[in-house]
Amino acid sequence: MKLIVGLGNPGREYDGTRHNAGFDWVDQLAHKLQVSLRPESRFHGLCAQIRQKDADVWLLEPQTFMNRSGQSVAALCQFYKIQPQDMIVVHDELDLPPGVAKLKKGGGLGGHNGLKDIAAKMGTQDFWRLRIGIGHPGDRNAVVGYVLHPPRKEEAPLIDEAIARSLEVWPLIVQGACEAAMLKLHTKA
Protein backbone atom coordinates (compact mmCIF):
# COMPACT_ATOMS: atom_id res chain seq x y z
CA MET A 1 0.00 0.00 0.00
CA LYS A 2 1.20 3.46 -0.89
CA LEU A 3 -1.77 5.55 0.24
CA ILE A 4 -4.12 5.30 3.21
CA VAL A 5 -7.12 7.64 2.91
CA GLY A 6 -9.43 8.35 5.82
CA LEU A 7 -12.76 9.91 4.86
CA GLY A 8 -14.62 12.52 6.87
CA ASN A 9 -15.67 16.14 6.93
CA PRO A 10 -13.35 18.91 8.14
CA GLY A 11 -14.34 21.29 10.93
CA ARG A 12 -15.06 21.06 14.63
CA GLU A 13 -18.79 20.67 14.04
CA TYR A 14 -18.11 17.26 12.44
CA ASP A 15 -15.65 15.95 15.05
CA GLY A 16 -16.97 12.75 16.57
CA THR A 17 -19.72 12.23 13.98
CA ARG A 18 -20.38 8.83 12.44
CA HIS A 19 -19.30 10.10 9.00
CA ASN A 20 -15.81 10.84 10.36
CA ALA A 21 -14.93 7.23 11.21
CA GLY A 22 -12.27 7.29 8.46
CA PHE A 23 -10.63 10.40 9.92
CA ASP A 24 -10.72 8.77 13.37
CA TRP A 25 -8.98 5.64 12.03
CA VAL A 26 -6.20 7.60 10.30
CA ASP A 27 -5.77 9.84 13.37
CA GLN A 28 -5.28 6.76 15.56
CA LEU A 29 -2.84 5.23 13.07
CA ALA A 30 -0.85 8.49 12.92
CA HIS A 31 -0.74 8.56 16.73
CA LYS A 32 0.42 4.93 16.82
CA LEU A 33 3.14 5.68 14.25
CA GLN A 34 4.04 8.94 16.04
CA VAL A 35 3.54 11.15 12.99
CA SER A 36 1.55 14.34 12.55
CA LEU A 37 -0.77 15.11 9.69
CA ARG A 38 -0.08 18.53 8.21
CA PRO A 39 -2.04 20.69 5.75
CA GLU A 40 -0.90 20.23 2.16
CA SER A 41 -2.74 22.67 -0.13
CA ARG A 42 -1.74 20.97 -3.41
CA PHE A 43 -3.48 17.79 -2.17
CA HIS A 44 -6.42 19.60 -0.55
CA GLY A 45 -5.92 17.67 2.67
CA LEU A 46 -3.99 16.78 5.78
CA CYS A 47 -1.05 14.50 4.95
CA ALA A 48 1.81 12.60 6.50
CA GLN A 49 4.49 10.60 4.76
CA ILE A 50 5.87 7.56 6.55
CA ARG A 51 8.55 5.06 5.70
CA GLN A 52 7.56 1.40 6.08
CA LYS A 53 9.78 -1.48 4.92
CA ASP A 54 11.84 0.74 2.57
CA ALA A 55 8.73 2.21 0.93
CA ASP A 56 6.98 5.55 1.28
CA VAL A 57 3.37 5.45 2.44
CA TRP A 58 1.08 8.47 2.53
CA LEU A 59 -1.67 9.08 5.06
CA LEU A 60 -4.36 11.45 3.76
CA GLU A 61 -7.46 13.09 5.21
CA PRO A 62 -9.18 15.10 2.42
CA GLN A 63 -10.31 18.52 3.62
CA THR A 64 -12.66 19.02 0.67
CA PHE A 65 -15.75 17.69 2.47
CA MET A 66 -16.98 14.16 1.86
CA ASN A 67 -18.72 14.75 -1.48
CA ARG A 68 -15.49 16.02 -3.07
CA SER A 69 -12.99 13.56 -1.53
CA GLY A 70 -11.89 12.43 -4.98
CA GLN A 71 -10.33 15.83 -5.69
CA SER A 72 -7.84 15.31 -2.86
CA VAL A 73 -7.19 11.63 -3.55
CA ALA A 74 -6.70 12.13 -7.29
CA ALA A 75 -4.31 15.07 -6.75
CA LEU A 76 -2.02 13.01 -4.48
CA CYS A 77 -2.25 9.89 -6.65
CA GLN A 78 -1.42 11.80 -9.82
CA PHE A 79 1.52 13.61 -8.23
CA TYR A 80 3.09 10.44 -6.77
CA LYS A 81 1.89 8.10 -9.54
CA ILE A 82 -0.07 5.92 -7.11
CA GLN A 83 -2.38 3.38 -8.74
CA PRO A 84 -5.88 2.72 -7.32
CA GLN A 85 -4.92 -0.87 -6.35
CA ASP A 86 -2.16 0.60 -4.13
CA MET A 87 -4.51 2.59 -1.91
CA ILE A 88 -7.01 1.83 0.79
CA VAL A 89 -9.92 4.08 1.69
CA VAL A 90 -11.19 3.94 5.29
CA HIS A 91 -14.82 5.03 5.67
CA ASP A 92 -18.02 4.75 7.66
CA GLU A 93 -20.38 2.00 6.52
CA LEU A 94 -24.17 2.15 7.03
CA ASP A 95 -24.61 -1.50 6.03
CA LEU A 96 -22.50 -2.81 8.93
CA PRO A 97 -23.55 -2.57 12.58
CA PRO A 98 -21.41 -0.64 15.06
CA GLY A 99 -18.57 -2.85 16.27
CA VAL A 100 -17.92 -4.46 12.87
CA ALA A 101 -15.06 -3.62 10.48
CA LYS A 102 -14.68 -5.28 7.09
CA LEU A 103 -12.05 -5.06 4.39
CA LYS A 104 -12.86 -5.52 0.71
CA LYS A 105 -11.56 -4.67 -2.72
CA GLY A 106 -13.81 -3.05 -5.29
CA GLY A 107 -17.51 -3.69 -5.41
CA GLY A 108 -20.41 -1.30 -5.14
CA LEU A 109 -20.24 2.11 -3.56
CA GLY A 110 -23.29 1.66 -1.34
CA GLY A 111 -24.47 5.22 -1.94
CA HIS A 112 -21.42 6.60 -0.11
CA ASN A 113 -20.75 10.01 -1.66
CA GLY A 114 -17.07 10.03 -0.69
CA LEU A 115 -16.49 6.69 -2.42
CA LYS A 116 -18.55 7.80 -5.43
CA ASP A 117 -16.40 10.89 -5.91
CA ILE A 118 -13.14 8.96 -5.51
CA ALA A 119 -14.30 6.34 -8.04
CA ALA A 120 -15.34 9.10 -10.47
CA LYS A 121 -12.03 10.99 -10.18
CA MET A 122 -9.88 7.82 -10.28
CA GLY A 123 -11.90 6.25 -13.10
CA THR A 124 -12.37 2.97 -11.21
CA GLN A 125 -14.04 1.38 -8.19
CA ASP A 126 -11.24 -1.19 -7.98
CA PHE A 127 -9.51 -0.06 -4.79
CA TRP A 128 -9.41 -1.44 -1.26
CA ARG A 129 -11.89 -0.19 1.34
CA LEU A 130 -11.83 -0.61 5.09
CA ARG A 131 -15.45 -0.26 6.15
CA ILE A 132 -16.16 0.81 9.75
CA GLY A 133 -19.72 -0.12 10.73
CA ILE A 134 -21.90 2.70 12.04
CA GLY A 135 -25.32 1.04 11.60
CA HIS A 136 -28.32 2.36 9.69
CA PRO A 137 -31.08 4.65 10.99
CA GLY A 138 -33.72 2.37 9.44
CA ASP A 139 -35.09 5.02 7.09
CA ARG A 140 -33.10 6.06 4.03
CA ASN A 141 -34.54 9.58 4.32
CA ALA A 142 -32.87 9.91 7.74
CA VAL A 143 -29.36 8.92 6.56
CA VAL A 144 -27.93 12.44 6.11
CA GLY A 145 -28.85 13.55 9.63
CA TYR A 146 -27.75 10.22 11.04
CA VAL A 147 -24.22 10.23 9.61
CA LEU A 148 -23.65 13.88 10.52
CA HIS A 149 -24.36 13.28 14.23
CA PRO A 150 -22.29 11.53 16.89
CA PRO A 151 -23.12 7.89 17.60
CA ARG A 152 -25.43 7.10 20.51
CA LYS A 153 -23.83 6.46 23.89
CA GLU A 154 -24.05 2.67 23.47
CA GLU A 155 -22.72 2.75 19.87
CA ALA A 156 -19.60 4.89 20.42
CA PRO A 157 -17.55 2.24 22.27
CA LEU A 158 -18.49 -0.36 19.63
CA ILE A 159 -17.26 1.89 16.81
CA ASP A 160 -14.06 2.62 18.77
CA GLU A 161 -13.60 -1.13 19.26
CA ALA A 162 -13.98 -1.79 15.51
CA ILE A 163 -11.40 0.90 14.76
CA ALA A 164 -8.96 -0.55 17.32
CA ARG A 165 -9.46 -4.11 16.04
CA SER A 166 -8.96 -3.08 12.42
CA LEU A 167 -5.79 -1.17 13.34
CA GLU A 168 -4.35 -4.51 14.50
CA VAL A 169 -4.14 -5.64 10.86
CA TRP A 170 -2.16 -2.52 9.83
CA PRO A 171 1.13 -4.46 9.53
CA LEU A 172 -0.48 -6.76 6.95
CA ILE A 173 -2.16 -3.89 5.10
CA VAL A 174 1.04 -1.88 4.75
CA GLN A 175 2.83 -4.95 3.36
CA GLY A 176 0.14 -5.23 0.71
CA ALA A 177 -1.12 -8.50 2.22
CA CYS A 178 -4.70 -7.26 2.23
CA GLU A 179 -6.21 -10.73 1.66
CA ALA A 180 -4.41 -11.95 4.80
CA ALA A 181 -5.52 -8.80 6.66
CA MET A 182 -9.09 -9.41 5.50
CA LEU A 183 -9.03 -13.02 6.70
CA LYS A 184 -7.61 -12.04 10.08
CA LEU A 185 -10.04 -9.14 10.55
CA HIS A 186 -13.11 -11.10 9.46
CA THR A 187 -12.32 -14.13 11.63
CA LYS A 188 -11.74 -12.19 14.85
CA ALA A 189 -14.13 -13.09 17.62
What integer pLDDT is reported at residue 188 of this predicted model? 64
- Residue 136 appears among annotated catalytic residues: no
The per-residue pLDDT for 125 is: 93
**Choice among 19, 44, 91, 112 that is catalytic:** 19
Residue 100 near residue 15 (C-beta atoms within 8 A):
no
Dump pLDDT digits (tens) for 102-152.
999 998 887 899 999 999 999 999 999 999 999 999 998 999 999 999 999
Instruction: Kindly report the pTM of this predicted structure.
Output: 0.96
C-alpha pair distances (Å), 107 with each of 64, 103, 116, 169: 24, 11, 12, 21
SS3 of 56, please? Answer: strand
Angle ∠(166,27,62) on CA atoms, nearest 5: 105
Written out in words, the top-level CATH class of the domain with range 3-186 is: alpha beta
Tell me which residue of 142, 132, 149, 146 sits closest to 15, measured CA to CA: 149
Average pLDDT along the chain: 94
